[in-house]
Amino acid sequence: MSELIVWTYDWVPQGPRGFVRDLRLRWACEEAGLSYSVRTVPFTDRGADHLAHQPFGQVPFLSDGELEIFESGAGLLHLARKSEKLMPRDPVGEAQTLQWTVAALNSIEMVSVPWWFLEVTGAADNHLSGWLASRLDHMENVLKEREWLAADRFTVADLLMADVLRVARVRSFGDRTATEAYVRRVTERPSFKKAHADQMAHFATADQLRS
């Protein structure tokens, strides 16, 4: 099997640590038992070299032998093709995994990330709050009825949705107990804990190298 490399920044400030999206790819590799290494690009200087790998100046991107792929959601679906642990192989299970992966990206994160952006940039009145609350209400109704999003088992769709929801959740959008339990259930998995700890250690080492 070709070599998998997860690319992330060499350093980031404290705020985003534990949330940089290389975590998603580390986590998926851990779940699937795929061996991988982590390499870095400079956080402070994102020139033509970086843009040739990631045209929006972000991380992560994934190398898989000769192939390279950016967008964490695309990287996850690419990894899911390598391991049944991330996505079932029957057409219905695969379609359910695909639809919920895209739902995390385009129905939840499309509202939660801009909502968060408005929060941190200090808009007086966050006009996306009602829309986000409505989307989270729909998710709560879904998660009241089932343990996992697709095919009655853990898939890469749960990995991504839980990661998306744990960001939206920290700002506390009411008492959505099924969503809370879901995020807890998914992020208590050993592979999440390892990926999270590894990312925190990666950036802590970067601090030591700087000081």
Instruction: Write out the E strands in the chain.
Output: 4-9, 36-41, 61-64, 67-70
Does the footprint of a second copy cover residue 156 (CB under 8 A)? Answer: no
Options 89-97, 169-177, 179-187, 203-211: segment touching a second copy (CB under 8 A): 89-97
CA distance 182 to 100: 14
Among 20, 86, 87, 111, binds a second copy (CB under 8 A): 111
Element (H, E) at 120: helix 109-120
CA gap 179, 139 in Å, rounded? 7
Give the residue with the Cβ less far from a second copy, 114 or 153: 114
93 CB burial (10 A radius; 0-12, 13-18, 19+): middle
Of 139 and 203, which CB lies nearer to a second copy in the complex structure?
139
What whole-number distance in Å separates Cα of residue 188 and Cα of residue 182? 10
Q: Is residue 60 involved in binding a second copy (CB under 8 A)?
A: no
Asked if 117 is part of the footprint of a second copy (rule: CB under 8 A), the reply reads yes
How close are the terminal C-alpha atoms of the chain, in Å?
A: 38
Site for a second copy in 38-57 (CB under 8 A): 51, 55-57
Rule CB under 8 A: which residues touch a second copy? Answer: 51, 55-58, 64, 66-71, 73-74, 77-78, 91-92, 95-96, 98-99, 101-103, 105-107, 109-111, 113-115, 117-118, 121, 123, 125, 127-128, 131, 135, 138-139, 141-142
